[in-house]
Amino acid sequence: MTNLSLYGYGESVASNMARLALSEKKLKYNYNLVYLESKGEHLRDSYKKLNPKTLIPTLVIDDKPIPDSIEIMKYIDKEFPNQGESLFPKDDIEFDKLLDYLFLDDKKELGETFGTTGGGISIPVLAKLLCKRSFFSVLWDYLRNHGVSKRKPIFIMVRLLGGPPPGVYKKMMSFLAKHLIYTENYLNHGKEFIYGDSYSAADCCLTALLHRVQEMRFYGVFDGKKLPNLSKYWNNISSRPSYTEAIINYETGEWKPELIGLYGDGPNDHNDLLWTEINKLTKEK
């Protein structure tokens, strides 16, 4: 019998993608919580042996590590074709393009795709978690151990400043607005899921990204007024059992107090700017 073990973090977008896929495939697995910014457990040698890039998630199948949420989804879809949902259509170039747009690709620039924007809008909370450690601890850990060279200075700068670098978060609002509108228009096909009538790996990615939008207190995105397709899609996708099983049930509790500290009970302090950008882009059309 195949033994599955997932290494992940509760509030990680990429981990959420992998857990959603495992839930939709109805696969049981052992779960290993890896704390990120607050403790740096992903940078330790024990985890680096599994995933040299020091990114999460990693799925270990019978002692074989599979890093990267997309590769995890591809693997389980191929190995367990008769369980749960089929996540990948065969030989579909357009689907591959959509997946690339939704994926957190470390080779792409922050904000270039919806996937990388999910990381960009998370910076205020990541900064608070990094600040639980001394600057020199973060500096040493990331310079010495992080497996993605272009990410090292980003985390160090965020820790040094205690928040997003000047102007970066404002720029993220422009990117987020563009990606929300693109997704809204993509959903004009009127189908139940992002790529048609069947649930797919693209829905795993988009669900995790939209959850992050909601989590970061961007209000009004799902109220149906400006982005009705997105609102309908979100209501549908967030009511699936996998949303609770894979995302809500795995929250660590680290993020909620930081979000309250940042925004109280209200919206993200860049919420108005996001809507200014959305309104500007929709008027241009």
Same structural domain for residues 164 and 255? Answer: yes
| pLDDT of 283 | 83
Question: What sign for the dihedral angle of Cα 110, 8, 214, 101?
Answer: positive
Instruction: Give the other-Cβ count within 10 Å of 274's Cβ.
Output: 25
- Within a domain: residue 88? no
Report phi then psi at 5, rounded to 5: -135, 125
The 3-state DSSP composition of the chain as helix, strand, coil percent (nearest 5) reads 55, 5, 40
Asked, for residue 116, whether it belongs to a domain, the answer is: yes
Share of the chain above pLDDT 90, in %: 92
Parallel, antiparallel, or unpaired for β 4-8 and 30-33?
parallel
Among candidate residues 26, 45, 79, the one where a domain is terminated: 79
Q: Which residues of the chain have pLDDT under 50?
A: none
pLDDT reported for residue 107? 82
Are residues 102 and 75 part of one domain? Answer: no
> Are 180 and 269 in a shared domain?
yes
- Host domain of residue 236: 93-284
User: How open is the CA angle 108-209-157, to the nearest 5 degrees?
Assistant: 50
Q: What distance in Å separates the CA atoms of residue 230 and residue 222, rounded to the nearest whole number?
A: 7
pLDDT of residue 214: 98
What is the domain count for the chain? 2
For 210, half-sphere exposure in the C-beta direction (CA atoms, 13 angstrom radius) is 26
Instruction: Please give the pLDDT value at position 284.
Output: 62
CATH of residue 105: 1.20.1050
What is the layout of strands, in order, in the sheet containing 58-61? 30-33, 4-8, 58-61, 64-67
> What are the Cα distances from residue 146, in Å, to 6, 37, 196?
20, 12, 38
Report the DSSP pairing between strands 58-61 and 4-8. Answer: antiparallel
Supply 110's token pair.
Answer: 């922050």
Tell me if 160 is assigned to some domain: yes
Claim to verify: residue 106 and residue 61 sit in the same structural domain? no
Judge contact between 198 and 86, C-beta under 8 A. yes
In a domain? residue 145: yes
Q: Which residues make beta-bridge pairs with 67?
A: 58
Instruction: For residues 124 and 185, give the distance between their C-alpha atoms in angstroms, rounded to a whole number.
Output: 29
Can you give the pLDDT at residue 239? 98
Question: How far, in Å, CA of 118 to CA of 173, rounded?
Answer: 11
Most distant CA pair in the chain, distance: 56
Which pLDDT tens digit goes with each residue over 219-261?
Answer: 999 999 999 999 999 999 999 999 999 999 999 999 999 999 9
| 55 found inside a domain | yes
Q: Residue 45 maps to which CATH number?
A: 3.40.30.10
Task: Give residue 1's pLDDT.
Answer: 60
Same domain, yes or no: 50 and 131: no
For residue 254, which of 71, 39, 72 has the smallest C-alpha distance?
39
Give the pLDDT score at 106.
80
